[in-house]
Structure formats: C-alpha cells, structure tokens
Amino acid sequence: MSEHVQLTARPPVPDALAPARLGPVQLRNRVIKAATSEGRSPEGLVTQDLIDFHVDFARGGVGMTTVAYCSVAQEGRSAPGQIIMSRRAQPGLQQLTDAVHAAGAAISAQLGHAGVVASKAVTGQAALSPSRFINPTSFQLCREITREQMRAVVGQFRDAAVIAADSGFDALELHFGHLYLPSSFMSPWINKRRDEYGGSIDNRTRFAREIASAVRDAVGDRVAVIAKMSMDDGIKGSIWLDESLRSAQLLDQDRTLDAIELTMGSSVKRQMYLFRGDVPVDGMAAVMKEPFKTGVKVLGRQILGEYPYRDLYMLEAARQFRPVVKHARLILLGGINTMEHLDTAMAEGFDFAAMGRALLREPDLIRRLAEDPAKPGLCIHCNRCMFTVYGKTHCVLAVPGGEDRGADASVDASELLASNS
C-alpha cells in the first residue's frame, strides 16, 4: 500500500499583468507607476501637460498611475510646480482622472507634506519639523511644529483626501517616506520630542497613524488608501529596519491601509541611497546658486552619496515586511526594469510592483513587455532626471514628444532646466 504524503499547497504565483484588487479598486494589472514629482502645475493646478503626462502611462499599459506630488498645504511643497490640494484644483483634478480612466488605467494621488524638505523659496515660510533642525542639504533652519499645527496638518491630509475622492481618484498614497513630515517624526535623528510623539518608535509612529486614521474615517471605502513608507534611509541614527518593521506593524494593525509601498532613502541627506546608480553632480549644481554651486561640484558625490545600481535593490529589505504586515497588500519598488523583475516580485509574495524611472524612460513599457517579455527596459539609471523636478520632470534620454535621443546623449543640465522652467 502506498503511503499518503501530505503536500503543503503553495499558493500559485499571480501574473503581474493580470487584473487584481486593491481595496475597493479593480486594477487591470499589478503594475503601478511610482510617484515622480511632475512639476507641471505652475499655479498649483492641473494643466493639460500634466493630463497628457499621465495619459501616456495609462495608454502604455500600467494598472495605475500616481500623480505626484499633491501637497496638502501650500507650505508643504518641496519644489515648484506641485499641485496644492484645494477645492479650486478640483475641476482640473476631475479632468485628469477622467482622461486617465478613458485610457484604461486607475489613478492615485500622492498626498504629502514635505516638512523639513519643504522649500522656503517655494513656500515663503520656514519648514516644519518635529524638532528644531537644520536641513544639511538646503541649510534651512526648520522650526518645531506645535501640537496645534500638527492637528492642522492631520486636518489638511483629511481634507485633501476628500477632495481627491470627490475628484474621481481611485486611490490615495499617503507620503510617509523620504523624511517628509510624517516620516521625519519616525526618525530619531530629526525627532527629539519629549511628548508622546517622540521617544519610542511607537510614539514616533503616532503622527502617521493619526493621519491614516483621519483619512480613512473621511473617505471610508470610496478609494484605496496606500502608505508609502521608508524601510530605512541610509542615515546613521535615522530610520532603520528594526524600527520601521514596527511602524509597519502598527499601521497595519490599525486596518486603515489597503496597501503599503516600501521605499528607502530620503530627500534630506545621501539622496542616492534612494535612487542608486550614477551620481548626477552636474544636475544638482545647475539648480544651486553660488557659492553652493561650486561647493556641490567639489563635494557633490560626498553629499549625495555613492551607491551602485542593482536590479531590485529594495527587495532584500522589503522581503522582511512580508511576515509582519498581515492585512495590507505590499507593493515592491526599486530597480524594477524587466518582466523577469515583475515575476520575481510576485514570486516573492508582493501583491503589486511600482516602477519609477523605467516608466519615465518608456511610458509604454508595460504594453511592450506584454508583447515581448524578454526585452528589458531602456532606463540606464544615469539619474539625470532627478534634478528635472525643478522644471518639468522627464527622462533626459527621451525628448518630450517621443523622439529618442539615445543612451549616449550629452545633456547640459542648466540648458535643460532653463528650457523647462
């Protein structure tokens, strides 16, 4: 008689290009265009240019595109040309969501407050921080946020979420990463508070949890709610895995989120930890005034940090969140450039994959991968798009309008910015 062997059934690996549910939303596939601050809203309002930008990704086959960056308040902006969420912006936002839906994709709004990354040149005010802080890249002195201001920011996130839901967005992405305001609370490097928002990681996660709760209460299940949160930021004494795993667990236990998108790095120090690949020193110098311009040319690599590009460079850290996050879906980000990378993300247990630069380079990449899965994406991780956020964000190797400039194009960053501001 043959022995019965109990086989443990492993769940089948989903197809990244097949439809999937994200909270209340059905997406046509599991690929999300990651936020890449567009700079196409000079008055804080939607423009035709911004609509065209996102329709390109929708036509190109993504499941959902992410509009970035939608500031919840005028003083929360980190660069010029960002959307300010207000009732004034709603008609344009509605046109944007209608156009993306007509092209077959869902659309998400990244809602954020830049905190210590807010630019005084753009906002006209000193940036807000959990504690007094000098931003080592901008040298700006940031003031400590009061409890009243914190309540106001929670209300701004809530109001922005309602405006987004009323404007036809399918999802909201709460920016809890990159040392923007909610993320800076999680960092012991920036957060030195002695009240119940400082000290232990549970205390430092409180502000983000309050924002997520207020947003969920306000929008119910009209839209999916995602948090983009930092796993670590590569800065000594700041956010590291041991603590961010706890933050993710707390956020997940609240059941306020449909998904968590895992990111790393920051916009405050050692920026290349987020991006990986070539260090665009010339691009950074081009957006600086003297004497910083010369300083950056000499010290740029030290300031930005040097981290070689690796495919799927966030996977190793992100994998550790899978057993901890029990309810929310998980979105893998970072160095996803081929069909094989998408398959790996699914095989590793992630529910969705987000792509930033690969899609900036080729907005129709997903359609192309569906037709020819063996051909990799064309992004070369030169990172020369990084500083185009001060004009209109784009891949410098793809001329707007579609004509390819080729991988060896030499682009002068100051000429580029001048032509796009």
For ligand SF4, the binding residues (CB under 6 A) are 357, 360-361, 379-385, 395-397
Closer to ligand SF4 by Cβ: residue 72 or 389: 389
Question: If contact means CB under 5 to 8 A according to the sort of partner, which of ligand FMN, ligand SF4, none does residue 260 touch?
Answer: none
Closer to ligand FMN by Cβ: residue 221 or 306: 306
CB of 345 to ligand FMN, least distance (A): 11
CB of 35 to ligand FMN, least distance (A): 4
Closer to ligand SF4 by Cβ: residue 89 or 395: 395
Pull the structure tokens for residue 87.
Answer: 């009732």
Calpha distance 316→338 (Å, rounded)? 18
Question: If contact means CB under 5 to 8 A according to the sort of partner, which of ligand SF4, ligand FMN, none does residue 37 touch?
Answer: ligand FMN
Question: If contact means CB under 5 to 8 A according to the sort of partner, which of ligand SF4, ligand FMN, none does residue 393 touch?
Answer: ligand FMN
Closer to ligand SF4 by Cβ: residue 164 or 379: 379
> Which residues are 224's β-sheet partners?
171
SS3 354: strand
User: Do 175 and 225 form a contact (C-beta atoms < 8 A)?
Assistant: no
For ligand FMN, the binding residues (CB under 6 A) are 34-37, 68-69, 110, 175, 177-178, 228, 263, 275, 333-336, 355-358, 385-386, 389, 393
CB of 380 to ligand SF4, least distance (A): 5
> Which residues are 230's β-sheet partners?
263
Closer to ligand FMN by Cβ: residue 204 or 228: 228
DSSP states along 306-353: -----TTTTHHHHGGGTTT--SSEEEE-SS--SHHHHHHHHHTT-SEE
CB of 387 to ligand FMN, least distance (A): 8
Q: Sheet holding 141-144: strands in order across? A: 128-129, 141-144, 133-134
HSE (CB half, 13 Å, CA atoms) of 15? Answer: 8
**101 φ/ψ sector (left φ>0, alpha ψ -120 to 50, else beta):** alpha
Question: If contact means CB under 5 to 8 A according to the sort of partner, which of ligand SF4, ligand FMN, none does residue 54 touch?
Answer: none
CB of 388 to ligand FMN, least distance (A): 6
Question: If contact means CB under 5 to 8 A according to the sort of partner, which of ligand FMN, ligand SF4, none does residue 382 touch?
Answer: ligand SF4
From the list 169, 259, 180, the residue with the least C-alpha distance to 223 is: 169
Calpha distance 28→59 (Å, rounded)? 12
**CA angle 242-247-249, nearest 5°?**
95
Question: If contact means CB under 5 to 8 A according to the sort of partner, which of ligand SF4, ligand FMN, none does residue 384 touch?
Answer: ligand SF4
Q: Which residue is nearest to ligand FMN (CB)?
A: 356
Write phi, then psi, for 241 (nearest 5 degrees). -55, -40
The reply to whether 313 belongs to the active site is no
Closer to ligand SF4 by Cβ: residue 216 or 394: 394
Q: How far apart are the first and last CA of the chain?
A: 79
In this structure, how many other beta carbons lie within 10 angstroms of the beta carbon of residue 418? 11
In this structure, how many other beta carbons lie within 10 angstroms of the beta carbon of residue 15? 13
CB of 146 to ligand FMN, least distance (A): 26
Q: Which residues are catalytic?
A: 180
